[in-house]
Amino acid sequence: MGAKRHHAWMDGDHRRRAIRILLAIAEPDTRSYVRRCLELHDQEVDPIYETSDGHRALETLEGTPVDLIVAETGLPGLDGVELCRRIRMAPRIRQTPILLILSEPPTREGEARATAAGASAVLGRPFNARGLCGLVDRLLRTRSPPP
């Protein structure tokens, strides 16, 4: 997967801390693949919070600030597009970058819905580790620190 990138965040005391990521992906194999890609790509990704449900993702975000959200459109309960909308309406977490993975092969309509809902970046299926990690790198370079 190439050279490892070390994304660390300097907190208020100028200590480095690892990047915190929330994965909201319904399919266990896809969630495992994404987690493994992120772990191999960046050894300073820890912890990675995981859920398979959009409502649980919101519950996690209420008490756990993260640096990046990776979600998919096909989440049960609360799909990824609605999850994006709700995150963008929540003052404390609205600035958190969101990478939204389309549950089906990409279409202009699907990408437009994701972007209109507030996705920072959209990734179509099928995808590979290079495409995933390239978008993650871009989003982490432009993020603001979590509260």
Q: How confident is the model at residue 130 (pLDDT cuts 50, 70, 90)?
A: very high
Residue 146 lies in a domain: no
CA distance linking residue 34 with residue 113, whole number of Å: 22
Residue 53 lies in a domain: yes
Residue 147 lies in a domain: no
For residues 83-107, average pLDDT:
91
Domain with 95 in it: 8-141
Q: What is the pTM of this model?
A: 0.85
How many Å from the N-terminal Cα to the C-terminal Cα in the chain?
A: 31
Residue 27 lies in a domain: yes
Residue 61 lies in a domain: yes
Residue 120 lies in a domain: yes
For residues 93-118, average pLDDT:
90
CATH number reported for the structural domain that contains residue 27 in this entry: 3.40.50.2300
Has residue 9 got a pLDDT over 80? no
Residue 81 lies in a domain: yes
| Cis previous bond, 47, omega within 30 | yes
Among 6-20, 28-42, 114-128, whose mean pLDDT is lowest?
6-20
Residue 1 lies in a domain: no
* Domains in the chain, number: 1
